[in-house]
């Protein structure tokens, strides 16, 4: 039922995502109720189930993708956990993650466009100012393909843009028991698509990888290439 979870309010959007089975855990649902998408998506009808422009040739992901991501990472986004949101864009998903890890947890949003860091900080300040005051959420400018070693390891890593190959640096920065999800470009003949990959690190450090579904994200790239790409 992806793409059909349009709402006229945040509550209606969340109810439809839940009824469609996409928003699959109570804690992910509570996060999407607590964080108001309209504070992060400044176009009209912010509760439509579509990606929307946020400037700099990128989009805030569609609500159904946020719902999948938070549901898949629910067991890792627990009280006191540490999370990394790569390509934090509007700041929406970082804020949902911050809700789930609670006041003893910490979320780092890493984004390579400095203006988007300013915008996401403003968005969170409007919606959930205590997340910033408590230091529960912090936005940093940087190349997310390299992760953010200063705060590693992370229990959960979310990558919000499609990588050409799964960045090993991010796998290295996962804590034991941690989970990473990342869209990765796949090529078959002339066809080019993206798989959402889930990577789990067991308590003893063993890595398992699983393809979850085909997705469509903007590229995980460098700022010059991104600002040249006018397809978005």
Interface with ligand SAH (CB under 6 A): 56, 58-61, 86-90, 92-93, 110-113, 116, 143-145, 160-161, 218, 220-221, 226
Question: Cβ(76)–Cβ(107) under 8 Å?
Answer: no
Q: How far is the CB of 205 from ligand SAH (least distance, A)?
A: 26
Q: Which is nearer to ligand SAH, 177 or 232 (CB)?
A: 232
Helix spans in the chain (H): 10-19, 26-34, 63-72, 92-101, 114-127, 129-133, 168-172, 223-228
**51: nearest Cα among 148, 162, 192, 172:** 162
Q: Specify the DSSP class assigned to residue 61.
A: P
Could you give the C-alpha distances from 65 to 18, 32, 91, 111, 137, in angstroms and in order? 13, 12, 14, 19, 21
Q: What is the rounded CA–CA span in Å between residue 158 and residue 208?
A: 16
Q: Which is nearer to ligand SAH, 81 or 96 (CB)?
A: 96
Q: Which residue is nearest to ligand SAH (CB)?
A: 87
Q: Which is nearer to ligand SAH, 155 or 221 (CB)?
A: 221
Q: How far is the CB of 174 from ligand SAH (least distance, A)?
A: 18
Q: Which is nearer to ligand SAH, 44 or 188 (CB)?
A: 44
Q: How far is the CB of 65 from ligand SAH (least distance, A)?
A: 8
Does the active-site annotation cover 61? yes
Q: How far is the CB of 92 from ligand SAH (least distance, A)?
A: 5
Q: Which of 44, 61, 71, 103 is catalytic?
A: 61
- Residues with catalytic function: 61
């Amino acid at each position: 039922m992806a793409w059909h979870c349009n709402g006229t309010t945040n509550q209606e959007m969340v109810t439809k995502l839940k009824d469609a089975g996409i928003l699959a855990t109570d804690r992910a649902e509570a996060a999407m109720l607590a964080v108001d998408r309209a504070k992060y998506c400044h176009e009209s009808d912010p509760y439509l189930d579509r990606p929307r422009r946020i400037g700099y040739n990128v989009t805030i992901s569609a609500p159904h993708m946020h719902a999948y991501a938070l549901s898949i990472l629910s067991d890792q986004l627990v009280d006191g956990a540490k999370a990394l949101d790569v390509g934090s864009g509007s700041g929406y998903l970082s804020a949902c993650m911050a809700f789930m890890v609670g006041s003893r947890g910490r979320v780092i949003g890493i984004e390579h466009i400095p203006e988007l860091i300013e915008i996401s900080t403003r968005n969170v300040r409007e919606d959930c100012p205590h997340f910033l005051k408590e230091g529960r959420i912090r936005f940093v400018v940087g190349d997310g393909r390299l992760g953010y070693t200063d705060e590693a390891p992370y229990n959960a890593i979310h990558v919000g843009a499609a990588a050409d190959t799964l960045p090993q640096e991010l796998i290295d920065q996962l804590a034991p028991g941690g989970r990473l999800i990342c869209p990765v470009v796949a090529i078959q003949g002339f066809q080019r698509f993206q798989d959402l990959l889930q990577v789990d690190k067991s308590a003893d450090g063993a890595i398992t990888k699983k393809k979850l579904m085909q997705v469509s994200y903007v590229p995980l790239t460098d700022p010059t290439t991104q600002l040249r790409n006018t397809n978005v």
